[in-house]
Structure 1
Amino acid sequence: MVDCDVIIVGGGPVGLFLAAELGQRGISVEVFDAKAGTSTHPAANANSARTMEHFRRIGIASTVRALGLPAGYATDVAYFTSIAGHELARLHQPASQDAVEWAKAHAFTWATPEPPHRCSQLYVEPVLLEAARSHTQCHVHFSARVVAFSQGEESVSATVELDATADRPAQTRTVTARYLIGCDGPRSFVRKSLGLRYAGVSGEKRDFMGGQMDAVYFFAPDIYRVSPHPPAWQYWTFSAKQRALIIAVDGKGHFIMNVQTREDELNDDDSVRRRIAEAIGADIPFELKSSSTWTAGFTLVADRFSAGRVFLAGDAAHLFTPTGGLGYNTGIEDAANLAWKLEAMVKGLAGPALGASYEAERKPAALRNTAFARGFADGIGHVQVPPEAHMSGPAGDAAREAVGNYLAFHATAEFVIPGVHLGTRYEQSPLIETEAGPAVPDSANLYVPCARAGHRAPHAWLEEGRSLYDRFGPGFTLLCTGREGINTRDDAVLHRAASVLPQLAIQHVDEPAVAALYGAAFVLIRPDQHVAWRGDALGDEFEAAARRAMGHATADVVSTSEPVCPAST
């Protein structure tokens, strides 16, 4: 007897997104997090285009895009000697009110309906919490710590301590589910309990983004008064004494500063105040709100992503240095990949390979993304700023121009990364048959749309002005791009495919640009918007691909009452 379908350990953004999507799929969920509530300290300040696409799928993208900085606040990345001093370089980026139209104009690079959005986890988590709790079968519990779990052939049982206070001991509860997901961060209790370890590079040293970092949340609206430069989203400062990264949280005076500590520095309020003043470069009042300590220089991926009925996602499965903003966003992709598979497993539709495909697909993606993040960290962390850059006169001007040229190059390399956001592919997945020929390049700064099996389904704006993605169903979608569409002789094939694929929707889009983009008359698209198969006929190959996409061997057949959704035009 189970209490719910899925237990999620960890109520951060990855756990809450997974809960929201599972709830939308009719899966009962219990989420447990030891914190008292959602985050009160800013972190994860960048939502990738892919994360925003997933938010669009569950209906919260527009809500999230309205949060964070004011609608007209440009999300520039800028580099300074100090905020009140010399500006060295600036990467201009659009304000949120202009982002979607900007992406349409730059569709040759950002081929997405949802360009990146600069908004702190501080604001995103409450939206995800509301989305999760909007489903009656989804329950989120804070001040609730999972202290033990065990699994058998059919279920997982977790022991949870609830509502412990200084005056009252914790109440203990046992919860049994079909599956348990560890979304409980880099010190993951779930990962350690499974005996799984991180592998990779740890403790890598750099002049910046390599060592112990202090993250200080403070309020200083006078920054906008003393700075002679236009506002920015990220302020990177290179003073003679320290380097710092200051991020605008709300555009109204709240900032988060990350600065690398040195062995001779104390982590007291006076030291923190000196570091903030050094980065600003002017004597202005500011209020300290909160602080935390973390360590940069990690490129770590768990040796395994699952064991039996227990899976890992987010920082529990991989740990990044945050350059490029890839850690949290990789975790959201983990959850998107896992959600539809959990649904199929809970509902008895999954073949034996479906659960194992999560690690087979997501571990290579984690290795890919941590490598990109490490490269970005090297690009900013090892750069040497000459002393002349802090001097006045012609020599100082020349040094600052030279440093600025490099930083402008680096800014583009780290922040104009559509290839990282949109280029993840699962070509070696057991759920697909790899197509012949070479794949398109996997480059950080260039995304090449590709409809090969395993790749993210290419996006297009339809002639009616609507996003193609909005035509995809919550389950599998069969996209028909040819003029003929589906013939009556295909009905039997579709009926057999529908016995395997949950909620198979059929979408007919008769637009030459879409046909050219996908390069096939029929394209089978998974619930996470990755291509499962494409071809020019609905025959044996399509049926085999449908079974394979759900983790079944070619000869396996599953009986289900799930209907084929009617075709749309």
Structure 2
Amino acid sequence: MNSKVDDRVPVLIVGGSLVGLSASLFLGRLGVKHLLVEKHAGTSHHPRGRGNNVRTMELFRVAGVEQLIREAASVLAENHGILQAETLAGMDQEWLFKEIDPGGALARFSPSGWCLCSQNDLEPVLLHRARELGGDLRFGTELVSFEQDADGVTTVLRSRESGEEQTVRADYLIAADGPRSPVRERLGIGQTGPGDLFHNVSITFRAKRLADVVGDRRFIACYLTNPQGAGALLPVDNREQWVFHAPWHPDRGETLEEFTDERCVAHIRAATGVPDLEVEITGKAPWHAAERVAERYGSGRVFLAGDSAHEMSPTGAFGSNTGIQDAHNLVWKLAAVLNGWAGPGLLDTYGQERQPVARATSARASARSAEHRHPGYDAVPGTGRQSNVLAVALGYRYPAGAVVGPDQDGPAVPDRFEANGEPGSRAPHLWVHRAGVRQSTLDLFEDSLVLLTGPGGGSWHAAAQRLAGRLGIPLEAYRISSDPQHELAPEPGSDWAEAYGTKADGAVLVRPDGFVAWRADGAVADAEAVLGDVLRVVLRR
């Protein structure tokens, strides 16, 4: 490898799709200089990966882009639910579920909500904001090779337009380079899981009269079961732009070339039940549903995120959300190590925390595809564990990692969602008032550790302030009470201590990613010693 180094960056991101762009956004928010390279010339043109769950939208809220994303997604804002029908025009139809959040119950648990935003609309928002925050994002640039040593990673990058090569030295590399990740293969990291599940061809098309057939059924997707027209129909603009996922069987020797425009038009007409529907095919893209998880989430200074770390069936959009949440978990740890307030061992907790979540979530995604009888997937539905999707979206937890006192025997993804503030779980949402401004407790968690205490937690509060200075750790301390001298005022009727599973003189330490790192039930004789020990364990100092 060329010994001459042309550029140096703390973090190099390989891959500029949803996960890579999210990693860039999160790094930019924390002020970490980085470079992102993506081999394609621009962001995605194909409307895919559209479901952004409530946890992902919470992360985008804290990162300051939630509203921009909702504006980009406004055309599908009224689309809810999954419909199943023999044909769209026929009478045999049933809603698998009609509302994502029936009755608005989610507002008890989150300041955000689900958002249907196609990848081709979401990626430009992330790209623009990441660049505004100082990120160096280069499209049409590919990773040619990399070598790592004890101090960093030396990479060779190539412009696909000019062929010019550049050697860049990075402290760390994030591989968000997709399911067939060259970086993962270069590291020799294998995968576990059932493997390929089914294959589809995604067909984009224009059909002006289809909106009249759909009528007021504003679905996210409609699964169509007519054998001559099996597939999934997804709206792009609810008017004339649509996507159809048609089953594809390469295992039976079926080739992509067989999906001619004429065949696709006939298939869509059979699926919709409109024999003379005017259909203009505008694009085709093959995709593969699989269930695989990497055996390791990194090696040395190179880390896998998103599809390079895990593949999941698309039903429920768990894959893209899990990938964005990977990036969020990894980025605060990289920032902490690069800025010197955590030990390098903190980075070992990335895979320790995220891999079990991916394994459990990918199994849920496959089960959901079976339950919905996704076109092309022949698996038999199981026992119906899919009812509580909130447990996957908000309830995932870390039984081991940068956490003190978690339930180590509990599952990474529970069957039921409970917001109880236990160590290793997402910190509960509560509305509080800070200097007269109403905000969620989740808005407090991004660029520092946060210690929350109640009116009787003065010793914890003082200990946190002293330790922040003495240890050089970004650690904010907030007291939640109606006392005007305290930093946060609760909403009338809310009980902070009850929500977080502690007492008025207890304390809860929350990580920058909004997960509870540790919890104390009450006051102790030497709060500074106890909290100091916890910080050293969590941050691997």
TM-score where L is the length of structure 1: 0.83
Asked if residue 45 in structure 1 is aligned to residue 55 in structure 2, the reply is no
Aligned CA distance change for structure 1 residues 441 and 309 (closer, same or farther; 3 Å) = closer
Aligned CA distance change for structure 1 residues 73 and 21 (closer, same or farther; 3 Å) = same
| Cα distance in 2 between the residues matched to 1:501 and 1:457 | 24
Match of 2:170 in 1: 177
| Cα distance in 2 between the residues matched to 1:271 and 1:351 | 58
Asked if residue 92 in structure 1 is aligned to residue 98 in structure 2, the reply is yes
Instruction: Summarize the alignment of residues 132-531 of structure 1 with structure 2, pairs less than 5 Å apart.
Output: 132-136=130-134, 138-164=135-161, 169-204=162-197, 210=198, 212-227=199-214, 230-262=217-249, 263=252, 266-282=258-274, 283-296=276-289, 298-381=290-373, 417-429=389-401, 431-435=402-406, 442-444=413-415, 446-462=416-432, 466-480=439-453, 482-487=454-459, 491=462, 494-500=465-471, 502-510=473-481, 511=490, 512-520=494-502, 521-531=506-516
Write out per-residue CA displacement over residues 154-187 of structure 1, whole angstroms, 9 at most, x where no aligned residue. 11111111142xxxx5111111111111000011
Higher strand share: 2
Aligned CA distance change for structure 1 residues 465 and 345 (closer, same or farther; 3 Å) = closer
| Cα distance in 1 between the residues matched to 2:427 and 2:385 | 25
Query: CA contact under 8 A between 1:74 and 1:92: conserved in structure 2?
Result: no
| Cα distance in 2 between the residues matched to 1:323 and 1:384 | 12
Unmatched segments (≥5 aa) in structure 2: 482-489
**Segment drifting more, 490-499 vs 195-204:** 490-499
| Cα distance in 2 between the residues matched to 1:328 and 1:64 | 15
| Cα distance in 2 between the residues matched to 1:5 and 1:264 | 47
| Cα distance in 2 between the residues matched to 1:324 and 1:503 | 36
Percent of residue pairs bearing the same amino acid type: 30
Write out per-residue CA displacement over residues 273-303 of structure 1, whole angstroms, 9 at most, x where no aligned residue. 122112111122122221111222x210011
| Cα distance in 1 between the residues matched to 2:333 and 2:87 | 49
Q: CA deviation at 1:316?
A: 0.5
Write out per-residue CA displacement over residues 343-371 of structure 1, whole angstroms, 9 at most, x where no aligned residue. 01212222142011111011111111111
Match of 1:125 in 2: 123
Residue 422 of structure 2 aligns to a residue in which SS? coil
| Cα distance in 2 between the residues matched to 1:112 and 1:173 | 45
| Cα distance in 1 between the residues matched to 2:183 and 2:412 | 36
Aligned CA distance change for structure 1 residues 88 and 472 (closer, same or farther; 3 Å) = same
Write out per-residue CA displacement over residues 509-551 of structure 1, whole angstroms, 9 at most, x where no aligned residue. 2245221111222111001000001112334332211111212
Match of 2:487 in 1: none
Unmatched segments (≥5 aa) in structure 1: 205-209, 386-405, 553-569
| Cα distance in 2 between the residues matched to 1:437 and 1:190 | 32
Q: CA deviation at 1:93?
A: 2.1
| Cα distance in 2 between the residues matched to 1:149 and 1:114 | 40
Q: CA deviation at 1:450?
A: 2.1
Write out per-residue CA displacement over residues 237-294 of structure 1, whole angstroms, 9 at most, x where no aligned residue. 1113242111112223222211112448622221111221121111221222211112
The alignment yields a C-alpha RMSD, in angstroms, of 2.8
Aligned CA distance change for structure 1 residues 474 and 221 (closer, same or farther; 3 Å) = farther
Asked if residue 550 in structure 1 is aligned to residue 506 in structure 2, the reply is no
Q: What letter corresponds to residue 390 of structure 2 in structure 1?
A: P
Aligned CA distance change for structure 1 residues 264 and 313 (closer, same or farther; 3 Å) = closer
Query: CA contact under 8 A between 1:432 and 1:453: conserved in structure 2?
Result: yes
| Cα distance in 2 between the residues matched to 1:321 and 1:303 | 18
Q: What letter corresponds to residue 153 of structure 1 in structure 2?
A: A
Match of 1:11 in 2: 16
| Cα distance in 1 between the residues matched to 2:238 and 2:472 | 46
Asked if residue 540 in structure 1 is aligned to residue 532 in structure 2, the reply is no
Q: What letter corresponds to residue 125 of structure 1 in structure 2?
A: E
| Cα distance in 1 between the residues matched to 2:517 and 2:157 | 39
Q: CA deviation at 1:376?
A: 1.0
| Cα distance in 1 between the residues matched to 2:518 and 2:396 | 16
Query: CA contact under 8 A between 1:472 and 1:507: conserved in structure 2?
Result: no
**Segment drifting more, 139-148 vs 269-278:** 269-278
Q: What letter corresponds to residue 467 of structure 1 in structure 2?
A: S
Q: CA deviation at 1:74?
A: 3.3
Q: CA deviation at 1:382?
A: 8.0
Aligned mate of 2:113, from 115, 137, 144: 115
Match of 1:400 in 2: none
Write out per-residue CA displacement over residues 460-499 of structure 1, whole angstroms, 9 at most, x where no aligned residue. 234775322123352111112x223424x86355322454
Match of 1:562 in 2: none
Query: CA contact under 8 A between 2:461 and 2:477: conserved in structure 1?
Result: no
Residue 170 of structure 1 aligns to a residue in which SS? coil
**Segment drifting more, 124-133 vs 248-257:** 248-257
Q: What letter corresponds to residue 282 of structure 2 in structure 1?
A: K
Query: CA contact under 8 A between 1:183 and 1:312: conserved in structure 2?
Result: yes
Residue 272 of structure 1 aligns to a residue in which SS? helix
Aligned CA distance change for structure 1 residues 160 and 225 (closer, same or farther; 3 Å) = same
Q: What letter corresponds to residue 120 of structure 1 in structure 2?
A: S
Q: What letter corresponds to residue 139 of structure 1 in structure 2?
A: D
Q: CA deviation at 1:508?
A: 2.0
Asked if residue 79 in structure 1 is aligned to residue 84 in structure 2, the reply is yes
User: How many correspondences in the alignment?
Assistant: 506
